[in-house]
Structure 1
Amino acid sequence: MSTLVAGLLAGLGIAMPVGAVGVYLVTLAAHRSVRVAACAALGVASADGVYAVVAVVGGRVVAQWAEAVAGPLQVVSVVALLAVGVKIAVDAIRLTRVSAETVHAPSDPSALRAYFSLLGLTLANPATIVYFVALVTGNRAGTADGAGLAVVFVVGVFVASAAWQLTLVTGGRMLAAIATGRRGRLVTSLAGSAVVIALAVATALG
């Protein structure tokens, strides 16, 4: 039970600070279907779970590798976030030029595409693996007592992260009530785009 709680707390610790991925998730939920947004949320949680597994298995060796490639990964992360921010804005502007019927019923990306897009975007953040390695090596959560507790720890991370990401999706769906009109969709999309781009710039400067 203590290992499960440790995993839940670790998952919440990495998931709750709302960064660019969280903002994108809320924007996606406001303008797309619940199914697509929920799959995207599970993509984020899966990335946290993957990094938790890598941390449990690899420990400090993985942390050293992550720090060594942090520079290139940061570049990838910045480019991906800028692309996401620009795409949100471009899609919003494009939709204002079509008929009202199309604005109210935009085509959704596939749920699988949304899942893997958010999975890849989250995996591009090297700070996540360093975070989990610090927890695992500091607390020996799941590493000293065998594979069983390691699995419990990882499950706790995934469940907590998924619960938080789905909470963000719920918040995004609440925004949908004011984002269904042409002007509301444009304003909320451009706001989300601006925040994502700003966070990308902050990541580059950081």
Structure 2
Amino acid sequence: MTAALVAGLVAGYGIAVPVGAVGTYLVSLTARSSLRTGACAALGVATADGLYALLATVGGSAVAGALRPLMTPLRWASAVVLLALAVRGATAAVRQYRAHRLTTRAAPPPPSPGRAYVSLLGLTLLNPTTVVYFAALVLGAGAADSVRPLEQGVFVLAAFAASASWQLLLAGGGALLGRALTGHRGRLVTALVSSAVMTVLAVRMLL
């Protein structure tokens, strides 16, 4: 049981800690909205990681093999979504800066916490590499069929908890960033940097 707990925590942090496009968008979203919205978005990311961990423990190599033919179209879809978010964020930030207005006055209302959760859940689910990652860990540790259901549950919950704790930390950083950069120039810089990072990471997905 302890081994399953430790393995789940290590696996969850292993997939969550490298800050990619989703993490960048999470920080930017929280900075532009609120900690509550960012926290719900963070739980959306963690839910996707937990679902993929569950699929990996239950299906093992069969799930990973079924997803491999879909990796290319899913990678393209993820890149397109990220590029659209990057362009939208940069365009809105430049328009607001030229109008010399604060983002809190000029921007459209931020997404609701529920919508943020669903959006980040869907965006994270577009990445099939996550389930392949979990499947490799499960299969590397031994045959998935030999693992008891209780141990599988502990592994999945530990992976979810690890991912959630890291994503919530990113959301907290975004909230602090939002408080520090309250002027229109600071928010312009934040939005442009976030959009640039997301664009680079989206392009790298396609290479």
TM-score normalised by length of structure 1: 0.93
1:132-166 superposed Cα distances (whole Å, 9 cap, x missing partner): 00001111387523211111100000000000001
**Could you say what secondary structure the match of 2:201 adopts?**
helix
Partners of 2:102 and 2:179 in 1: how far apart? 16
The number of equivalent residue pairs is 205
Q: Tell me what 1:189 maps to.
A: 191
Q: Tell me what 1:19 maps to.
A: 20
* Structure 1, unpaired ranges of 5+: none
Q: Tell me what 1:128 maps to.
A: 130
Q: Contact 2:16/2:163 (CA < 8 Å) preserved in 1?
A: yes
How big is the shift at 1:67? 1.2
**Structural RMSD (CA):** 1.8
Q: Tell me what 2:81 maps to.
A: 80
Q: Tell me what 2:181 maps to.
A: 179
Partner AA of 1:162 in structure 2: A
**Could you say what secondary structure the match of 2:146 adopts?**
coil
TM-score normalised by length of structure 2: 0.93
1:5-35 superposed Cα distances (whole Å, 9 cap, x missing partner): 1101100000001100011111111111111
The aligned runs of 1:12-91 (5 Å cut-off) are 12-91=13-92
Moved over 4 A (4+): none
* Structure 2, unpaired ranges of 5+: none
1:40-65 superposed Cα distances (whole Å, 9 cap, x missing partner): 00000000000001101111011111
Partners of 1:108 and 1:71 in 2: how far apart? 32
Identity %: 53
Q: Contact 2:12/2:159 (CA < 8 Å) preserved in 1?
A: yes
Go from structure 1 to structure 2 and tell me whether the alpha carbon gap of 1:176 and 1:130 turns closer, same or farther (over 3 Å shift). same
Partner AA of 1:172 in structure 2: G
The aligned runs of 1:70-149 (5 Å cut-off) are 70-96=71-97, 97=99, 99-100=101-102, 102-103=104-105, 107-140=109-142, 143-149=145-151
